[in-house]
Amino acid sequence: MKVNIANLAKQYGRKVFQSAFRILNDTHLAEDVTQEVFLKLFKKSTESFDQISNWQGYLKRMAISTAIDQLRRHKRLAEEPIENESQQSTSNATLPLQQVFIQRDLAQF
């Protein structure tokens, strides 16, 4: 069976978007997930397409999984601490200024 991904996108793209939007509650992120789902499908081997009998269910499941992965990715990025290198460069940059203030304060006494 020859599967045309463009036809699948036309036929089921809206359902894929809606599934992603229900999880993400963000239009732009849901659009990204929709694109990602069809890109993943494009990268799959065509032999695996023969095993899929319910395209709507399959694509909705892919959308849900991809949306959940995106939520996890955003959560992980939000929880990551700032890298030590950037903290050191910031603290080193303010160190001379702090020294000037300390010396000025000491000179006043």
Other CB atoms within a 10 A radius of the CB of residue 12 amount to 21
Report yes or no: 37 and 70 within 8 Å, Cβ to Cβ: no
Q: Could you read off the pLDDT of 1-42 as tens digits, one per residue?
A: 577 889 999 999 999 999 999 999 999 999 999 999 999 998
Which pTM does this prediction carry?
A: 0.67
Bigger pLDDT: 102 vs 72: 72
Write out the CATH class of domain 5-108.
mainly alpha
Report yes or no: 29 and 62 within 8 Å, Cβ to Cβ: no
Residue 88: its pLDDT value, please? 54
